[in-house]
Amino acid sequence: MSIESVDVIVTSPGRNFVTLKVTTSDGVVGWGDATLNGRELSVASYLSEHLASMLIGRDEDRIEDTWQYLYRGAYWRRGPVTMAAIAAVDMALWDIKAKKAGMPLYQLLGGASRDGVRVYAHASGTDFAALSNAITGYRELGFTAVRVQTGVPGLGQIYGVSSTGPGVRYDYEPAKRSGDRPSEETWDTRQYLNHMPGVFAKIREEFGTDLRILHDGHHRMTPIEAARFAKDVEPYDLFWLEDATPGEDQTALRLIRQHSTTPLAIGEVFNTVYDYQTLITERLIDYVRSAVTHTGGITAMKKLLDFAAIYGIRSGIHGPTDISPVGMAAALHLDLAIHNFGIQEYMPHNEQTLEVFQTSFTFDRGFLHPGDQPGLGVELDEEAAGAFEYTKAYLPVNRLLDGTVHDW
């Protein structure tokens, strides 16, 4: 048997997704997620213009060999576009292999290590009342962990805070259909550092010690600012502080570690295990935040997570709405199978997205399960996808109060 056709499907049911469809000569179809928020068409073209012809006629069962063929064979290595394209091929081939075996993918990865996958929800609010309302709603749904983002007095719309008011369904989508250039936000780290510890204090007071509280710094602090933040919030027992400093500066995390025991998570903008080499071997982080979609797929993520396991570091796989249901399913199968699972991010997709992607994962009182359909358990309805035309969207650009461009 061999790969007979490779198609790239771009659809926009409320937000953009790039999906790869691989079909074998005996008619088995595998799906892969290649969505790179705000830069979607570059991955679509990498796949259709460069990889598709290389895949036709290859043995679909040779997943490791295909991965190496695409990674080493490009000569140019790493980077989000290349690694998202390779990830999509890898996911599609695992989907095919598991479908042929008649098993859900997690069985091929060693079987379930747990009954379900603990997930965290996104709670946000422009002020404390709205935030508290959102947390209460999630607790009523059974969530045991929430990521907390809130407005900072003096700043307008900022990262992670829904502008449409409190609600249990998280409707925050940062990529805006803003025409030919990104929208802009304003930032001031000093006001943020002064405001946040009090927010965590009030959450602990209102919701007690059981709730797992996470927070995303979204790359905005300098190393010493991040060290201060991590130290200031220590009494409130954060499950993790994510992306405290810009991801590419690995040794910045040494400084944070010297000053605090707040657990650290990083990696959603990373693409390979090499981005983590220092962080893992020096034990500078506690959670690996890569997305399966942006890190070369299931083959590469399994190796990365096994490497992290040796150092006592756990998974916290990236799962915002810009990861399609296919990428989310890939994460859930890994989460269920690996031993060093930490937590999984979960932002439910909107209804239009779930019309295009038919999923079989289930949510029960704060835990997800990938389901027992053969393969990944997600099928794309091409007719439904065709109804949602691609619309250019950009992630915002961030500026300090004096106009300087800052990390978003």
Catalytic positions are 159, 218
Number of residues that bind Mg ion (CB under 5 A): 2
Among 60, 95, 216, 286, binds Mg ion (CB under 5 A): 216
Residue 60, binding choice from Mg ion, ligand GCO, none, Cβ under 5 to 8 Å by partner class: none
Minimum distance of ligand GCO from residue 1's CB (angstroms): 36
* Radius of gyration over every alpha carbon of the chain, rounded to an integer in angstroms: 21
Residue 132 C-beta: closest distance to ligand GCO, Å:
21
CB of 53 to Mg ion, least distance (A): 35
Tokens 């190393």, located at residue = 223
CB of 389 to ligand GCO, least distance (A): 20
Given ligand GCO, Mg ion, none, residue 174, with its beta carbon under 5 to 8 Å by kind, binds ligand GCO
The residue among 97 and 318 lying less far from Mg ion, judged by its C-beta, is 318
Report how far Cα 282 is from the mean position of its chain's Cα atoms.
24
Whether the Cβ atoms of residue 115 and residue 324 lie closer than 8 Å to each other? no
Beta carbon of residue 270, minimum distance to ligand GCO (angstroms, whole number): 13
Residue 33 interface partner, choices Mg ion, ligand GCO, none, CB cut-off 5-8 Å depending on type: none
Task: Name the residue nearer to Mg ion (CB basis): 216 or 379.
Answer: 216
Q: Which is nearer to ligand GCO, 22 or 131 (by Cβ)? A: 131
Strand pairing of 184-187 and 357-359? unpaired
The contact mask relative to Mg ion for 229-268 (x = CB under 5 A, - = no) is: ---------------------------------------x
The three-point CA angle 326-245-281 to 5° equals 75
Chosen from Mg ion, ligand GCO, none, partner binding at 37 (C-beta under 5 to 8 Å by type): ligand GCO
Q: How deeply is 392 buried, as exposed, middle or buried, from its count of CB atoms within 10 A (0-12, 13-18, 19+)?
A: middle
Question: Beta-carbon neighbour count of residue 152 at 10 Å?
Answer: 20
Binding site for ligand GCO (CB under 6 A): 37, 174, 216, 218, 268, 318, 320, 322, 345, 395
Sign of the dihedral through C-alpha 71, 74, 77, 81: negative
Tokens encoding 156:
């307008």
Shortest spacing between CB 124 and ligand GCO, in angstroms: 11
Sign of CA dihedral 247, 252, 256, 257: positive
Q: Which of 406, 402, 400, 40 is nearest to 246 (CA)?
A: 406
Residue with smaller CB distance to ligand GCO, 225 or 322? 322
Q: Which is nearer to Mg ion, 99 or 215 (CB)?
A: 215
**Residue closer to ligand GCO (CB basis): 29 or 395:** 395
> What is the CA 61 to chain-centroid distance, rounded?
27
Query: Does residue number 60 form part of the binding site for Mg ion (CB under 5 A)?
Result: no
Q: Which is nearer to ligand GCO, 322 or 379 (CB)?
A: 322
Smallest distance from ligand GCO to CB 53, Å: 30
Of 12, 7, 10, 8, the residue nearest 321 (C-alpha): 12
Find which of Mg ion, ligand GCO, none residue 118 binds, CB within 5 to 8 Å per kind. Answer: none
Binding partner of 14, given Mg ion, ligand GCO, none, CB within 5-8 angstroms per partner class:
none
Q: Are 81 and 305 in contact (CB under 8 A)?
A: no
3-class state of residue 157 by DSSP = coil
CA dist 403 and 394 (Å) reads 19
Coil/strand/helix, residue 26: coil
Strands (E), 158-230: 184-187, 212-216
Contacts with Mg ion by CB under 5 A lie at: 216, 268
